[in-house]
Amino acid sequence: MLQSFHDLMNRNLATDGGKAKLREAFFDPGTGLVRYMAVDIGGWLDATEVLVEADRLAPPGEEGASWMLRISESDLEAAPRWHEGMAEERIDLRAWPPVLVGPFGSTYSPLLMFEQLIAEQREHELPPAPDGDRLVRPLEEVGSWIGLPAFCTDGEIGPVADLLFEIDTRRVVTVAITPKSGTTAGTEAGSGATETTGRDQLGRILLPLTALRHRPKQGTHLVFDTTLQALHLDPA
């Protein structure tokens, strides 16, 4: 059975004698395995985000119950902290155009230039990362994928709306994409988030993570090994 990360984010998780909110999840893009989660154990005005192993997350035992974090309060307090980075780095790149044309016809990518600048600052100026940041640096953030434009080999599919993971294996297996263009005749939505291909009830395209062909280091978009025709999408 698949679970939506979008539905889990910022929800209360029951803990041993308390509660926490899920803020972020980190997964291995090669295997899809979710390794860590960032949870907020602070109060209303004092957010404190710590990293816990993903295998401590347990689904609710009955309908209407909360997801569980199988961890003691003392272990939560001792868990490594996670810092999202410098405030000036938290810029919504989705509003930026992928390519600009200069006055003499030359093209350049503001997204690429920004990411290169940040990478140089991290390499030469920033102090060593805290323990929590170092743990997740090789991994992908679920939140950073949401909203990214997704492409196939012959055009744009649309923005990523959600990542779905298998509850039993804790592996991200499906990328849900909101189609940008119209759907050709004869395409029906699927029965819900239970398959790794096809459509869900919201009409979103469900592609397996294994179909991902390319994601640049700058993290500006995703390219999947499929075509608009295979997805029953009209060309732009």
Give, in order, the Cα–Cα distances in Å from 184 to each of 68, 187, 201.
42, 7, 17
Average pLDDT of span 121-146: 74
125 residue type, one letter: E
233 within domain boundaries: no
Give the domain range for residue 182. 140-224
Q: Which of 78, 107, 131 is the last residue of a domain?
A: 78
- Torsion sign (Cα): 207, 209, 212, 217: positive
Please report where in the chains the tokens 């899920």 appear, as a residue. Answer: 22
Q: What is the largest CA-CA distance in the chain?
A: 64
**Interatomic CA distance for residues 236 and 219, integer angstroms:** 23
Please report where in the chains the tokens 């055009």 appear, as a residue. Answer: 155
130 within domain boundaries: no
* 144 and 68 housed in the same domain: no
87 within domain boundaries: no
CATH, residue 71: 2.30.30.240
121 within domain boundaries: no
Q: CA 130 from chain center: how many Å?
A: 22
Q: Tell me the per-residue pLDDT of 165-211, one tens digit each, with 9 for 90 and over.
A: 999 999 999 999 999 866 553 344 333 444 446 888 889 999 999 99
Q: Tell me the per-residue pLDDT of 2-58, one tens digit each, with 9 for 90 and over.
A: 999 999 998 888 888 778 889 999 999 999 999 999 998 875 445 578 899 999 999
Q: Which of 78, 106, 130 is the last residue of a domain?
A: 78
**Interatomic CA distance for residues 45 and 81, integer angstroms:** 17
134 within domain boundaries: no
- The band of 140, judged by pLDDT with boundaries at 50, 70 and 90, is very high
Residue 126 has pLDDT above 60, yes or no: no
128 within domain boundaries: no
Q: Which of 78, 93, 127 is the last residue of a domain?
A: 78
56 within domain boundaries: yes
- High-pLDDT (> 90) share of the chain, %: 39
Q: Is 107 exposed, middle or buried (0-12, 13-18, 19+ CB in 10 A)?
A: exposed
**pTM of the model as a whole:** 0.73
Q: How many domains does the chain have?
A: 2
